Every structure is written in structure tokens, then in C-alpha cells.
Copies of this chain bind each other. A is one copy, B any other.
Amino acid sequence: MSRTHLRKFSRSETTRAEAFSDGVFAIAVTLLALDLADPPHKPGGLGPALLAQWPAYLGYLASFGYVSVIWLNHHQAFVRIRAMDRGLHAANLFLLLTTAALSFPTAVVADALQTDPTDSDARVAVALYAGLAATMCLSWVAFYQQIARRPELLDPDVEDTYVRHGRLRSWTGALAYTVAGLLGVFIAPLLAIAVFTVLPVFYFVTSEGLPDGTAPPGTGPHADQAARGSAV
């Protein structure tokens, strides 16, 4: 009984942080569509003009995918968090700061690629994108770091591996985006774009620690655990 009570309390404690974060994620993801502009064109030239802005579509997919995976990650984290302290708020706000800004390098990359996908501007653009995307991963590192330092912020029954795996995945993401940026700068910008687009899919597909479907969620005695495992 007291367990349940604590749980409820903690959820209400974190409710507004989740609501605010969900708002920022939802807006960040939807604002990306503003980069999909009606292209200027001559009469009869709409079709080719639409095709010519393919980098904008790719950028939309890559950034929408990235923010979606971040959101799923965030969702998984807050299922386990029962209270927030200042440090965790700081890490969360830093994550939101970088997430909200992602539409900026997305637009820069789309523009640069549309002008010339191989010139130095395209290289600068993918470096900017990679830099911000890697920084988003680092904000997750800070997030897990804070949880590791203050384990009382987590539910007592959280998997032992949760924080360790989360930190590992965040460092891996930071590294992957950095490598993608370097490939883009030194080899070919389009290579970086390909990685930017594929990475979220890869993260989405491999994100489950527990195998999928070992137990139908919400039915067995460990329904809570199972549902968590299959949430992402």
C-alpha cells in the first residue's frame, strides 16, 4: 500500500516535467515541417522544383526520427523516475534546449545540399548538424549521470542495468554522430546525411533491452516490467 502511495506521489511530482517536455518535443517535431516550403518556381515548373528540394525531405525524416527516438527514450526514463532534483531538471532542460534547436541545422543542411551537395558549405552544414545531434546525446549522458549519483530519484525496482545501458547508448550516439560529421566533412556530405537518416531507425529497432514479446504487456504478474521492456 505504502509502495503504491509513493508511486503515485512520485508520478505527480514528475507530471509537469513530462508535460512540458512532451510539449517541447511535439512542437520541435512539428516545426520541422516549416522547412518544407512551397518552392519558388516558374509556371509549369512546380514538379521539378519539388523534386529539387529532396534534401529538405531527407532532413525532415532524419530530424523527425531523431526527436521521436529521443521522446521514446524520455518516456522510458520517466516511467522509472519518481522524483526530480535540480540537477535532473538542469539535464532535462539542456536536452530540451538542444532538441528545440534541431530545426536550425536541419534547415541549414537542407539548404546547403540543395545548392551543391559536395561543396564546402555542405561540409560546414553537416558538421553543424552532427555537432548539435552529438550534444543532444551528451545531455543524456548528464541525465544518466545525475540518476547514477542520486539513485533515490529512481523507483527502487528499476533494472540494475538501466542506468549503465542508458549511459552506454548515449556515449555511443554521441560518438556515432561525431563520426558521421567527420565522414561528411572529410569524405562526402551525403554520407553524413545517410547516417543521420539511418541512425534513428537503428536506435529505434535496437532500443529494447529485453526481448520483444516474452510476455504480453499488462497481463502477467510482471506486467509492469514487461510493458516497460516492450515500450520501445
Residues in chain A within 8 A of chain B (CB atoms): 6, 9-13, 16-20, 22-34, 36-38, 41, 43-47, 50, 60-61, 64, 68, 71-72, 75, 78, 82-86, 89-90, 93, 96-97, 100-104, 107-108, 111-112, 115-116, 119-121, 124-125, 128, 150, 152-153, 204, 207-208, 212-213, 216-219, 223-224, 227, 230-232
Tell me the complex Cα distance, A108–B32, Å: 16
Distance in Å from the Cβ of A157 to the closest Cβ of chain B? 14
Q: 10 closest A-B pairs (Cβ-Cβ)? A: A23-B26, A152-B216, A36-B104, A46-B121, A83-B217, A83-B218, A27-B30, A85-B230, A30-B100, A47-B124
- Where chain A touches its partner, the secondary structure class is helix
Asked if A20 meets B16 with Cβ closer than 8 Å, knowing A50-B108, A119-B43, the reply is no
